[in-house]
Structure 1
Amino acid sequence: MLVFFALFSFVLAQRVVELAIARRNARRMTAKGAVEVGHAHYRYLVALHVCFFAALMTEVLVLGRKPPQWWMAPAAAFLIAQGLRYWCMTSLGHFWNTRIFVLPGANAIRRGPYRFFRHPNYLAVVTELLCIPLLFGAWITAAVISIVNLYLLSVRIQAEEAALAEATDYGEVFRSSP
């Protein structure tokens, strides 16, 4: 149980720090003329992440879930996702945010993991929301949160790509990508 509370606290603290970074980056971006898009779906993403923590805590503590024998697999995937998340954040620099900010005329980011595919940060989030519950045997949380998250990300990615294609060179850069 100590491991659960330690990881739970770590991930929760991590999210709080990331929100502070996102707020700072939002101020920098808007000062440069960036505009925010995708307001409508953002509140649902926030609600999903709040529900994630509540569901995980409930399923582990109330339903008494225990780590499976193969706990090392989701633990390893979680650690890889952490590395990917921070690689994304450092690659995007002040462009990284939990919201969608678009700076008209900016060039698409093609460094770090963005050299290989378009949305590596979302891959990290999908992996974390699946693997953290699986690490502790919280099957219901893993399934429900992952399904809702995939739907919300499909909405978010459409909004993000449309805004980037309209205001930046994103469409040109990624049209020629494999």
Structure 2
Amino acid sequence: MLFFWSVLCIVLLQRISELLLAAKNARWIRASGGYEVGSSHYKYIVVLHITFFISLILEVMYKRELHSLPSWWMVPFTFFVLAQLMRYWCIASLGRHWNTRILILPGAEPLRLGPYRFLRHPNYWVVAIELLTLPVTFLAFTTAIVFTLLNAWILLRIRIPLETQAVYQRQRSK
């Protein structure tokens, strides 16, 4: 259980620091004339992530199977750690443009740096991987399935189309 609580605390500290960075970047973008697109769905993303952590904790505590991890725990956990490395590659590549919101800076070209040279929406891939692999590491299979599906639904039906449309309109309006 100590490993679970340690990992959970590290991930929660990561998320808090990322939200602080996103707020700082948002202030810079807005001060530079930028604006937000699709803010109405953002609250659902926040709720999804908060309830993910609550569900993870409740499922792990309910099962109480973590006195010893399964022999294969390193497989999903390795993918989780690799996803964290990819997340920070995304953040470093976008610099001040990285955010948890869809913020458009008029006149700025979409950045094609780091993983963005190879993948569309690599940060969304990171989130998908971690919502699956972190719970599986700790045998929280219900949390893994439910939140992976909910995240995919929000991303595929709402977030990615909004972001793509905002980028397309920005390029078209030049």
| Structure 2 residue 169 is the aligned partner of structure 1 residue 163 | no
Consecutive unaligned residues in structure 2, runs of 5 or more: none
Equivalent in 147, 150, 174 of residue 149 of structure 2:
147
| Structure 2 residue 52 is the aligned partner of structure 1 residue 52 | yes
- Does the CA contact (< 8 Å) of 1:26 and 1:101 recur in 2? yes
> Root-mean-square deviation (CA), in Å?
1.0
- Cα distance in 1 for partners of 2:108, 2:72 equals 45
Length, aligned pairs only = 169
- Tell me what 2:137 maps to: 135
| Structure 2 residue 105 is the aligned partner of structure 1 residue 103 | yes
Per the TM alignment, residue 28 of structure 1 is displaced from its structure 2 partner at its CA by 0.2
Per the TM alignment, residue 69 of structure 1 is displaced from its structure 2 partner at its CA by 2.4
- Does the CA contact (< 8 Å) of 1:103 and 1:168 recur in 2? no
- Tell me what 1:115 maps to: 117
- Does the CA contact (< 8 Å) of 1:25 and 1:97 recur in 2? yes
- Cα distance in 2 for partners of 1:29, 1:122 equals 21
Normalised to the residue count of structure 1, the TM-score between the two structures is: 0.92
Consecutive unaligned residues in structure 1, runs of 5 or more: 170-178
